[in-house]
């Protein structure tokens, strides 16, 4: 069963900010990395439970993308009843653990 991947407003802002931070507009390598991140997020439609449970909240999961020191966490929730994956937040992996207020 394929799940619908829904990117929340917060995650959209995170993606836009990340695009600017890595200068993807002017760098082919950064743009390629960014497209890979987008593809990894969309791949959650096929196997949303393939990623680990988030240590901050057992109802959430996180996809890790990139190589050290440039690893990013995609925080998401799987809704089996709706057949949906909600991407909630995208952050650098080295940042402190997130709090519920970070997802608002």
Give 27-56 pLDDT, tens digit per residue: 999 999 999 999 999 999 999 999 999 998
Distance CA 10, CA 68 (A): 24
Q: What is the widest separation between alpha-carbon atoms in the chain?
A: 42
**In 10 A of CB 25, how many CB atoms?**
10
Q: Under a CB-based contact definition with an 8 Å cutoff, are residues 34 and 18 in contact?
A: yes
Per-residue pLDDT of 86-102, as tens digits, reads 999 999 876 666 666 66
Peptide bond into 69 cis (omega under 30): yes
- Enumerate domains of the chain plus CATH numbers: 4-103 (3.30.2310.20)
DSSP 42-96: HGGGT-TTSSEEPSS-TT-EEEEES-TTS-EEEEEEEETTTTEEEEEEEEETTSP
**How many Cβ atoms are within 10 Å of 83's Cβ, its own excluded?**
13
Model pTM score: 0.88
- In angstroms, the CA 14 to CA 62 distance is 15
């Amino acid at each position: 069963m394929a799940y619908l991947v829904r990117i929340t407003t917060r995650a959209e802002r995170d993606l836009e900010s990340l695009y600017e931070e890595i200068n993807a507009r002017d760098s082919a390598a950064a743009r390629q990395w960014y497209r890979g991140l987008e593809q990894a997020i969309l791949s959650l439609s096929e196997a949303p439970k393939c990623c680990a449970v988030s240590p901050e909240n057992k109802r959430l999961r996180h996809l890790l993308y990139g190589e050290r020191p440039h690893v990013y966490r995609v925080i998401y929730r799987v809704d089996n009843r709706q057949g949906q994956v909600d991407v909630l937040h995208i952050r650098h992996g080295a940042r402190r653990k997130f709090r519920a207020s970070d997802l608002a």
